[in-house]
Chain A
Amino acid sequence: MTSSDTAVDQPTEQVIKKDRVVIRFAGDSGDGMQLTGDRFTSATAAFGNDLSTLPNFPAEIRAPAGTLPGVSSFQLHFANYDILTPGDRPDVLVAMNPAALKANVADLPAGGVLVVNTDEFTKRNLTKVGYAADPLQDDTLTEQYQVHPVAMATLTRGALAGTGLSKKDAERSKNMFALGLLSWMYHRPHEGTERFLREKFARRPDIAEANILAFRAGHAYGETTEAFAVTYEVAPARLDVGTYRQITGNTALSYGIIAAGQLSGLPVFLGSYPITPASDILHELSKHKAFGVTTFQAEDEISGVGSALGAAFGGALGVTTTSGPGVALKSETIGLAVTLELPLLIIDVQRGGPSTGLPTKTEQADLLQAMFGRNGEAPVPIIAPRSPADCFDAALEAVRIAVTYRTPVMLLSDGSLANGSEPWKVPSVDTLTSIDPGFATEPNAPDGTDEFWPYLRDSDTLARPWAVPGTKGLEHRIGGLEKADGRGSISYDPDNHDRMVRLRAAKIDGIRVPDVTVDDPSGDAELLVVGWGSTFGPIGAGARRVRALGREVATAHLRHLNPLPANLGDVLARYRTVVVPEMNLGQLSMLLRARYLVDAKSYTKVSGLPFKAEELQDLFLRLLDGVQP
């Protein structure tokens, strides 16, 4: 980043050009850090930078004020080129109180910019988080960082004097003061933020104006105070030609579901029970009834999936959304859907486990649950998006498979994808491929009678016909008991059961998924890194760093976890070393080892946070140097 830092001649201030910047806003849960981060992100997106974000907040809505558990942060990485991760470490840390400072300052590299709201540095607040002395009053911080102490609450209060707001209400806008200051420092456009505030507080124009005043005051403070001699410019990124917007993973999943309903002509039915971090999909879909979307907030997780399966029986696109604990409750119904062979989309936005675990943190530890977490042989296709924007395509792909093959499909997102955001090149709706539900309309008995055989399979896909109630002549009964191959009536015949178990497995194994592509620029790499889900970004960023050092590393990313791409075995066999970094204790590597008898090494982390590019760079270099992870 320092290589292209060049000073530009400016009369009033020094402007430094940068390729990329990572900013972290940190404060108390009640300080509005997520909103502040969101607004900076929107302004950055509108400016045309590539970006990636990582919100990080506690599960408690309002943990005790000023404490370490109550710290909420939002990290944003933006650049003039295409980036892959939210950034390892911040270049700039905005700390709204001592707790935020204490919880985050260790991540700030030496020389980093530290903006601190001094008003919260009272003896009481310092003691609360274990500071014996005020770190702003000695050299501990100034020795390492460029420290900017700013009395944000006082300045905000001053800016809002005359609005008639109480002292307490006025101080609540201090996050907008911080946003204004950072917006000045990084030349962010501010029209969008002011418009946003007017819309958000449309019913309280006084609050809207107060926030706008605070935002402008922050901007003016940067401009007029000599303390900030430098601003930074990050030029827009050179992205592919097209129309872009910023999008989070949960929104992209919601839009993917709506689009799948439109492309298939099926009404969408979402049965869901609120659970972090998946609830936003329920919220989003409930807004879009005009697209024929019905949302049902069920009494529990089981009813969420049960109602979706009932809707699927009736010819709707049945969807249920949840996180790991919810999948555990839904397992029996998913097994029923496997044997009923009805289309169903199950979205698992993974979070830290086991049990309630870390509701607001990310993890990838539900892969084996998705793969095997049902009684009996109950195979389910699994798809995992790799980035927030990719959630849209992953949802479409999952529905395509569910409808084509008449099967429940598991989509594994995770907390970092759900809440993280990035620019999305919005597809033209005309380019999206339609999905044919292909409902059965006629009797199909092979003997030419007018009977309907609900388990007579398509010879190509092995899918059974989807005949919905209301279709005359196709009345039939299906259920959880084993069914006779073809005719579908109850069967306890041993050979039939053996055949049906194998047919269900063969149907899923036979789902056509694209070959995995390998990113191996020179073609000479001996180390292959295999990833899935949200590790795509850090693995790619780590590999770039290794290649920038003149070393060779290949990467392959799996979108389809079941079935695996047909060429994967050959790909794995081509490399001397295969490593699988995962946010679990080695679930994909276990599957790859079992399936391909390959010595796939496992590198794991379950801290609730994504891998850093730096740690994966180190891992790859160690492996290239023959050091075992």
Chain B
Amino acid sequence: MTTIDLGLPQLGGLDGVPTAEDTQTAKDFASDQEVRWCPGCGDYAVLAAVRQFLPTLGIKRENTVFVSGIGCSSRFPYYLNTYGMHSIHGRAPAIATGLAVTRPDLSVWVVTGDGDALSIGGNHLIHALRRNVNLKILLFNNRIYGLTKGQYSPTSEVGKVTKSTPLGSVDHPFNPVSLALGAEATFVGRALDSDRAGLTAVLGAAAAHRGTALVEIFQDCPIFNDGAFDVLRKGDEAAERLIHLTHGEPIRFGPAAEDGPGAYAVVQEGFGLRVAKTDEVDPSQVVVHDAGDHELAFALSRLSDQDLTHTVIGIFRDVARTTYDDATRAQVDHERKTRTPNLQGLLNGRDTWTVAG
């Protein structure tokens, strides 16, 4: 068999989606449904950020679709005045794949949680990532099952005491960024629910990316896992833990150093990375972030441990690879151009015989 040279051009994530005629606002994207998350839930912050962000894409609202699974975060589509489907547990990436493959004129978003995406829906997640379907997956990670009232999740830390683990969880958690990178994702980012600017920046890059983009959003569950990410939110402690990535920039963080921002730096050690004090290493040793470097992205994902001592946020990886949906459509288009569909011919086949009267 010969493969067809599809000759696919490099496209942006929103190419093919019709642009809006009028300026749209966050209000246009709010549905008439009353938002029913618990007071203090991190989902409110993400919803507000997304409502602010969507109009900036400049695409038609009716060509925007949010598909979700099951869980607190999966109520998200009800609160956006776009097309939406609140589906079943873990299956949103599969449903969104069928939609994205058949409708290149849509911007398709998946909203999921740590249980939905990484436990019951793990298979669909990894296959969507490796296929590189033009989908944007927002993975709300609160490291707990909220809607079922407080069982540990696949991202809960070992030893976590929950309703189903009274003596502490013995289950080793996933690192969602490592998992996504291992599943051949072409775009992986991470953001914090309360960091509007950082979240919006990652969402913008995800939207512009053609292919599956996974954005892990650390999100607080005030009822069952309150304050899980507080150490990343407040003051000097947070600054010493949060490592912001900027493509092409040396990776430095923490309080200001004498030579500029970042008393700490990420340096290479063996096949991995370690954190060092900036003034104790030669500047040439400081790793410069490259979102096209797969090994670097993976090493950065391993800096983040369960206890959040160091937490890398921003865009780990952003590389171009032909998307499954573009390649699939290109095959169909090629066949449509080179073969004239003839239904009667198909039904007759090559070996007919005629019975005469």
Contact = CB atoms under 8 A, between A and B. Distances in A.
B102 A477 contact: no
Contacts of A308: 98
Contact of B86 (A291, A470, A477): A477
B328 A478 contact: no
A536 B106 CA distance: 46
A490 B78 contact: yes
Contacts of A315: 102-103
Contacts of A419: none
Interface in B119-162: 123-124, 127
A146 B339 CA distance: 53
Nearest to A254: B346
A568 B170 CA distance: 59
B91 A302 contact: yes
Interface string B58-100: 0011111101101000000110111111111001001111111
Contact of B341 (A291, A298, A300): A291
B234 to A, nearest CB: 36
Interface string A328-347: 00001101100010000000
B336 A292 contact: yes
B8 interface: no
Interface in A356-376: none
Contact of B95 (A243, A309, A335, A481): A309
Given A427-B347, A477-B31, A307 B94 contact: yes
Given A306-B95, A309-B95, A476-B83, A192 B343 contact: no
A92 B347 CA distance: 32
Given A310-B67, A475-B82, A294 B328 contact: yes
B94 A303 contact: yes
Contacts of B167: none
Contacts of A340: 85
Given A306-B94, A333-B88, A475 B348 contact: no
A103 B305 CA distance: 63
Interface string A263-303: 00001010100000000000000001111111010111011
A478 B85 CA distance: 5
B109 to A, nearest CB: 12
A311 B87 contact: no
A393 B87 CA distance: 32
Nearest to B127: A299
Contact of B353 (A48, A241, A290): A48
B123 A300 contact: yes
Nearest to A287: B335
A315 B81 CA distance: 19
Nearest to B107: A469
Contacts of B352: 243-245, 426
B355 A313 contact: no
B77 A242 contact: no
Contacts of A241: 355-357
B98 A310 contact: yes
B99 A255 contact: no
B331 interface: yes
Given A314-B98, A470-B103, A306 B124 contact: yes
Interface range, B side:
35 or more
B354 interface: yes
Nearest to B337: A290
A350 B64 CA distance: 39
A361 B272 CA distance: 55
A244 B351 CA distance: 8
Interface in A80-132: none
B335 A298 contact: no
Nearest to A342: B85
Contact of B105 (A246, A316, A470, A481): A470
A331 to B, nearest CB: 11
A602 interface: no
Given A244-B355, A314-B98, A314-B99, A469 B344 contact: no
A289 B331 contact: yes
Contacts of A296: 97-98, 101, 328
Nearest to A427: B347
A4 interface: no
A285 to B, nearest CB: 11
A402 interface: no
Given A302-B94, A303-B97, A314-B102, A246 B351 contact: yes
B98 A428 contact: no
Contacts of A247: 349
B354 A243 contact: yes
A310 B336 contact: no
A241 B346 CA distance: 20
A45 interface: yes
A475 B83 contact: yes
B351 A477 contact: no
A42 B351 contact: yes
B340 interface: yes
Interface of B: 18, 31, 33, 60-65, 67-68, 70, 77-78, 80-88, 91, 94-103, 105-106, 123-124, 127, 328-329, 331-332, 334-336, 338-341, 343-344, 346-349, 351-357
19 contacts: A262-B343, A289-B334, A290-B339, A294-B102, A299-B94, A299-B124, A302-B94, A306-B94, A310-B67, A311-B102, A314-B103, A426-B348, A470-B103, A472-B60, A472-B62, A476-B84, A478-B86, A479-B85, A480-B88
Report, nearest first, the 8 A-B pairs whose CB atoms are least far apart. Answer: A479-B86, A307-B98, A310-B98, A306-B94, A310-B95, A303-B94, A311-B98, A289-B335
Given A314-B98, A476-B84, A477-B78, 5 more contacts: A271-B98, A302-B91, A313-B95, A475-B61, A477-B84
